[in-house]
Structures are given as structure tokens and as C-alpha cells.
Amino acid sequence: MDRGGNFLIAQLTKYGKDDWNFPGGGIEGGEKPEETVMRELREELGVDKFEVLKKIEYREVYDWPNWLIADDLSNGKRIYRGQEATFFLVKFLGRKEDIKLDRNELRKVKWVKYKDIKNYFNFSRQVGLTDKIRDLLEE
């Protein structure tokens, strides 16, 4: 989130034009999750002006849809059946102009108020995450 309490959501290049999520990615080698989140943000957003505020006590485990696996397979990418995700509340310390998207990963990003996030999230698994964010904001 930024200094004004807005949350950054991203549209992955693999997603439909109305599908959004938070930026993220997978652990590489012997990385700790905290190292991974900083590396992924730097790679996808082209900036490293972030501070991890809190690890969110919420995990998601889910399988990828078959169309996504088939797409990765046809493009010669490494294939995974699913994912276990860990989430962090991260503060962006830079300026919005500092963000330079990796166009291979992200189509676009948008800053939104918490109350509007659910208008952008279409995947059922995202509901639990938005509830956890609400709980953090109320602490």
C-alpha cells in the first residue's frame, strides 16, 4: 500500500482484461518468503522502495486452472500444478512515477482504496484475503 492507504493491484499478462490480483511470485532457491516478496516487487515493478510491514497470517493453497497450465506448457515454461501462497502487507515508499512495469509479467497496475478492491477481484479465493486485509486495517 502507499502512504495514502491505497493498495496496488496488478493485471498479469496471463489474466483477462477484468482480472486483477496483488503483485507476487514464487520462491527461488533457498530464499526466505520475506526475501522473495522484495525480489518479486523489484522485478515486476522495477523499483525497490518497499518496506515489509507485516506477514499476514493467512495462506492459500490452490491448483492452477488447466488452461493456464496448458498455456505454460505450450510456451515451454516450467509447469506447476498449483501454488501455496503467503502474503505480506508492504508499504511503497517511492513515487508512483518510479514504477516501471515488467511487461512480460504485468499488463498494468492500479492504486485502489481498500473498499474498492472487491470490485476488481474475480477469483473466489481472493475473498479470504480481502477479509484478512480488513482485519489488519482494523487493528
Q: What is the DSSP string of the chain?
A: --TTS-EEEEEETTS-TT--B-------TT--HHHHHHHHHHHHHS---EEEEEEEEEEEEEEPPHHHHHHHHHTT----SEEEEEEEEEEE-S-GGG----TTTEEEEEEE-HHHHTTT--STTHHHHHHHHHHHHH-
Domain annotation covers residue 80: yes
pLDDT at 82: 58
CATH number, domain of 57, equals 3.90.79.10
Domain annotation covers residue 65: yes
Domain annotation covers residue 90: yes
Instruction: Quote the number of domains for the chain.
Output: 1
Is the model's pLDDT at 36 over the cut of 60? yes
- pLDDT cut 70: percent of the chain above it: 82
Is the model's pLDDT at 109 over the cut of 70? yes
Domain annotation covers residue 2: no
Write out pLDDT tens, residues 5-30.
Answer: 999 999 999 888 999 999 988 888 89
Is the model's pLDDT at 53 over the cut of 80? yes
pLDDT at 69: 62
- Mean pLDDT for the stretch of residues 90-102: 96
pLDDT at 35: 94
Domain range for 82 is: 7-138
Domain annotation covers residue 1: no
Is the model's pLDDT at 43 over the cut of 70? yes
Comparison of pLDDT for 87 and 108, the residue scoring more:
108
Domain annotation covers residue 72: yes
